[in-house]
Amino acid sequence: MSNRFTDTLFQLIHSLEKSEKRHFKLYIKRSSAKENLKIVQLFDALSAMNDYDEKLLLKKLTGTEKPQLYNLKTHLYKQILASLRLLKSADSIDLQLNEQFDYAHILYKKGLFLQSLRLLDRAKETARVNQKFNFLVQVLALEKRIESLHVTRGMQSRAEILSGEAIEISTKIDMLTRLSNLSLQLYSWYIKNGHARNEKDEAGIIDFLKKSLPANANEQTGFYERLYLYQSYTWYAFIRQDFLMYYRYSQKWVNLFDNQPLMIRVETGHYIKAMHNLLNAHFDLRNYQKFEITLKKFEAFAQTDRVKDHDNFRIQAFIYISGAKINQHFILGTFKEGLSLVPFIEEKLEEYALFIDTHRVLVFNYKIATLYFGSGDYEKCIDYLQRIINDNVELRNDLQCYARLLHLMAHYELGNFEIIESLSRSVYRFMAKMENLTVIEEEMFKFLRKSFHISRFKLKPEFEKFLQKIKQYEKSRFETRAFAYLDIISWVESNLYGKTVSEIIRDKYLKSKKRIYN
């Protein structure tokens, strides 16, 4: 039975670009050893496969038994990594530093202590310029070993200098560790739960930040300390739906890189993430002009060689820019025009299936479903929502809930009243279990239950009552999720005024734009 992407070697080979495959062939053929020729055959066989199938693989490698295959695969895996390290070293500060350290260690083992120390000095300088303080720990450890075992140069002063550096780096790394842990834990909370659902969630997040944030964290001036601090506050604000604070800290995050352009190359992934969060903040606050300016800046950066030539950065940029473009259509109310993005996104999701995590696919399915809902294609909307509902992944409880609610609304629009009553009970139970029922959702279910027994042309008064009830919660922080994920108000207004959701949102955008320019 074939299993796509289940074998680690298969995954690695299928992640390679053409240039990387070509480089591997040149790298491995420098040696004419029989074993190496066999691994080239294995490499070619795996490259040609669309799915990993070991039985078929053994047939292609005549004279190779299953135990031999395991050894060949292990050897090939190591050789590919060695080839990639050689190819990518010029493009990575981390690889360059590790290479310098390896050379210094070899010189130390050869007894060439002064040469080793000179190389370590150069590595330390490079590490400090690029703020790679974790790397300095192993450099200092080797320096201290050399100085303690061998008489080299100015023993007393060197001992004092190295001891002082070690204490300084240890203190710095302790702060970095605590701040990076805080950022990661807050982000993990969001990935699992989404936004704070109620006061209990918010109180828990506030308490966690108070207990986890180092006392002097806000006084730190180093790049990485500020990076993880701004990230922590960004996730903290986003979870609490304090979108103004979210905007301020995502902007600080971007500014940190703009003020130190060198670090954009060193930490490209963090810069891409910063741009993504700034775009999200502009979207949440409906900063139309700033959203457009930031998106253009992000798209221009995505076209640089730094992004295009790096698998991870290219895929990250695709994910975040595509999501932002869909969000832009949500802002403008141009849902049908937004559907033109879907084929390209679907194509890329398939192409990058090896690299894209379940959470990203979940978000795309929900965004695309919302595009179809806003376009009035409710059947297509249901198709995409079914992907979320049927996957049963334990991620983003909020999206899991709103996918089911949007699914219910799509059936309502299609007039599938024979299933709506039982479906609404099922969705209500699910949302209650997930503790995701706010006042808005409660009112939504009450409205739907009433509407089952009223003909659609007599529903206008009920829509008016429903709109009046939910409008009062539009500024309530714990109710904003329903408006952000579903824009229930625009949906009610579309039914009330006989317009499409797209027309309602478009009108709101044009009125808001007019106010800005006036």
Task: Give the model confidence (pLDDT) of 180-228 as tens digits.
Answer: 999 999 999 988 888 887 888 899 999 999 999 999 999 999 999 999 9
The C-alpha atoms of residue 463 and residue 419 are separated, in whole angstroms, by: 21
Domain shared by 448 and 517, yes or no = yes
Domain shared by 84 and 103, yes or no = no
Q: What is the pLDDT of residues 127-163, one digit of tens each?
A: 998 888 889 999 998 988 887 776 555 555 777 888 8
CB 479 within 8 A of CB 440: yes
What CA–CA distances, in Å, run from 86 to 15, 89, 102, 157?
Answer: 17, 6, 14, 38
Q: Answer yes or no: is pLDDT of 477 > 70.
A: no
Of 120, 153, 186, which residue constitutes the final position of a domain?
153
Residue 33: its pLDDT value, please? 59
The verdict on residue 145 lying in a domain is yes
Round the average pLDDT of the chain to a whole number and report it: 88
Q: Answer yes or no: is pLDDT of 238 > 90.
A: yes
Residue 322: its pLDDT value, please? 97
The verdict on residue 301 lying in a domain is no
pLDDT-based confidence at 270, cuts 50/70/90?
Answer: very high
Residue 515: its pLDDT value, please? 64
Averaged pLDDT, 421-447: 84
The verdict on residue 283 lying in a domain is no
Residue 322: closest CA among 308, 302, 351, 293? 302
Averaged pLDDT, 232-238: 96
Low-confidence winner among 289-298, 372-381, 396-405 (lowest mean pLDDT): 396-405
Place of tokens 């992907």: 387
Residue 1: its pLDDT value, please? 34
Domain shared by 76 and 96, yes or no = no
Of 46, 62, 90, which residue constitutes the final position of a domain?
90
Q: What is the pLDDT of residues 54-92, one digit of tens each?
A: 888 988 888 888 888 989 999 999 999 999 988 888 778
CB 492 within 8 A of CB 470: yes
The verdict on residue 204 lying in a domain is no
CATH code, domain with 371: 1.25.40
> What is the domain count for the chain?
3
Please give the span between the terminal C-alpha atoms of the chain, in angstroms, as a whole number: 66
SS3 annotation, 117-165: HHHHHHHHHHHHHCCCHHHHHHHHHHHHHHHHHCCCCCHHHHHHHHHHH
State the residue range of the domain holding 477.
350-518
Residue 443: its pLDDT value, please? 85
The C-alpha atoms of residue 202 and residue 208 are separated, in whole angstroms, by: 10
The verdict on residue 210 lying in a domain is no
Of 74, 90, 106, which residue constitutes the final position of a domain?
90
The C-alpha atoms of residue 326 and residue 341 are separated, in whole angstroms, by: 8
Domain shared by 75 and 112, yes or no = no
Residue 475: its pLDDT value, please? 72
Domain shared by 33 and 106, yes or no = no
Low-confidence winner among 8-12, 182-186, 268-272, 459-463 (lowest mean pLDDT): 459-463
The C-alpha atoms of residue 258 and residue 271 are separated, in whole angstroms, by: 9
Domain shared by 382 and 405, yes or no = yes
Tell me the one-letter amino acid at 294: T
Averaged pLDDT, 91-116: 90
The C-alpha atoms of residue 318 and residue 324 are separated, in whole angstroms, by: 10
The verdict on residue 143 lying in a domain is yes
Q: Answer yes or no: is pLDDT of 498 > 80.
A: yes
The C-alpha atoms of residue 275 and residue 293 are separated, in whole angstroms, by: 11
Domain shared by 129 and 77, yes or no = no
Domain shared by 56 and 101, yes or no = no
The verdict on residue 418 lying in a domain is yes
Residue 239: its pLDDT value, please? 93
Domain shared by 141 and 82, yes or no = no
Q: What is the DSSP letter of 150?
A: S
What is the pTM for the complete model shown? 0.82
Domain shared by 400 and 427, yes or no = yes
The verdict on residue 207 lying in a domain is no
Averaged pLDDT, 24-45: 80
Domain shared by 81 and 33, yes or no = yes
pLDDT-based confidence at 508, cuts 50/70/90?
Answer: confident
Q: What is the pLDDT of residues 437-465, one digit of tens each?
A: 778 888 888 888 777 677 666 788 888 98
Q: What is the pLDDT of residues 319-354, one digit of tens each?
A: 999 999 999 999 999 999 999 999 999 999 999 988
Residue 2: its pLDDT value, please? 39
Domain shared by 125 and 58, yes or no = no
